[in-house]
Structure 1
Amino acid sequence: MVEPELIKKAQNGDREALVQVLREIETHIYRTAYYILGNEHDAMDAAQEALIKVYSKIHLYEEKALFKTWTQRIVTNVCIDKFRKKKPNVSIEEHEMVLKDNQDVEKEILSTFVAKDIEEAIAKLPEHHRMVVVLRYLQDFSYNEISTSLDLPLNTVKSYLFRARQQLQKLLHEYQKGGVQG
């Protein structure tokens, strides 16, 4: 969490404070972009674009909203723009598996496959469902924060999450049975 004093300094032109703010938010920005767009290349582009927007618009930030909500809204909007420009490639890149000391190898492999199945299932969700899932479960946003970030009514957020959970449950059940194809 970025300290309010640091944000104020950045808004008042303190370059070092601005750099520190950007460093503190870059991981969260990238993570959101990755889960929305589904691949590393597009996520890096979106994160960079979002950080530039935060850099150039930090003076517009008002304390009535949480800073993390404000920045997540920026990255979400950047991702939406990317969806509009081109249909994203939602294939999930292969994950490298790092095994420690040969202990619990089977558990580690199972965990990796489950994580990959979850990522693939999230990538198959419609854009609006994917965004609320990413913000809620990967970024730990409250329903109100999601509502503010995406500029959606609270009940719409709840409805999207409900439908997304249903879709994920169905997709993961199909994965478990081996029934989902590309």
Structure 2
Amino acid sequence: MVEPEIIKNAQNGDREALIQVLREIETHIYRTAFYILGNEHDAMDAAQESLIKIYSKIHLYEEKALFKTWIQRIVTNVCIDKFRKKKVNVSIDEHEMVIKGDDNVEKEIISAYVAKDIEEAIAKLPEHHRTVVVLRYLQDFSYNEISTSLDLPLNTVKSYLFRARQQLQKLLHDYQKGGVQG
């Protein structure tokens, strides 16, 4: 993540530091937006909107919170706003798969299908469950960081994750029985 000194310089008006901060976080922001929103177009819009908010509000960041938690709250709120405005039904776009000519082609193909099935299962979760799953398992946030990012009580975060895991188990039950046969 971004060095605290660079963040401080950005807050003090150093344009180069601000550009560096935005460049270092843009991939992280896009990835979170993509997993929450489920498609590239909306994720790009949300990432851009999040970067603009971070750009305009970086002076409000206080060091008592982790910077990654602060930016995560912004991107998550932008995504939630997009859901509320559009009442979107999430769908996972088909991902192009490049097959390389090596001995592990079959494993790569199976892995790509499993990853796609997992993405689709996550996309089927209710918004609040999907958000905590993305933060916990895809962004490696701790329970406390999720609680802070989403402004939720810690027990609510734990409850959402528990219910989300239960739903994912139901959605992915074929894999528990030894895999899906195409």
TM-score, reference length from structure 1: 0.95
Report the Cα distance in structure 2 between the residues aligned to 1:177 and 1:115, rounded to whole angstroms. Answer: 13
The answer for the alignment partner of 1:114 in structure 2 is 114
Secondary structure (helix, strand or coil) at the match of 1:7 reads: helix
Secondary structure (helix, strand or coil) at the match of 2:128 reads: helix
TM superposition shift of 1:95: 1.2
The answer for the alignment partner of 1:170 in structure 2 is 170
Cα RMSD (Å) of the superposition? 1.2
Number of residue pairs aligned between Structure 1 and Structure 2: 178
The answer for the alignment partner of 2:134 in structure 1 is 134
Give, as a single letter, the amino acid of the residue that structure 2 aligns with 1:31: R
TM superposition shift of 1:174: 4.7
Give, as a single letter, the amino acid of the residue that structure 2 aligns with 1:154: L
Report the Cα distance in structure 1 between the residues aligned to 2:118 and 2:10, rounded to whole angstroms. Answer: 38
More moved, 13-22 vs 90-99: 90-99
Q: Which runs of 5+ in 1 are unaligned?
A: none
The answer for the alignment partner of 1:27 in structure 2 is 27
Residue-by-residue CA offset, 1:146-180 (whole Å, 9 max, x unaligned): 000000000000000000011011101157568xx
More moved, 85-94 vs 41-50: 85-94
The answer for the alignment partner of 1:95 in structure 2 is 95
Report the Cα distance in structure 2 between the residues aligned to 1:89 and 1:161, rounded to whole angstroms. Answer: 21
Give, as a single letter, the amino acid of the residue that structure 1 aligns with 2:74: I
Asked whether the 8 Å contact 1:22–1:51 carries over to 2, the reply is yes
TM-score, reference length from structure 2: 0.95
Asked whether the 8 Å contact 1:39–1:89 carries over to 2, the reply is no
TM superposition shift of 1:101: 1.9
More moved, 80-89 vs 133-142: 80-89
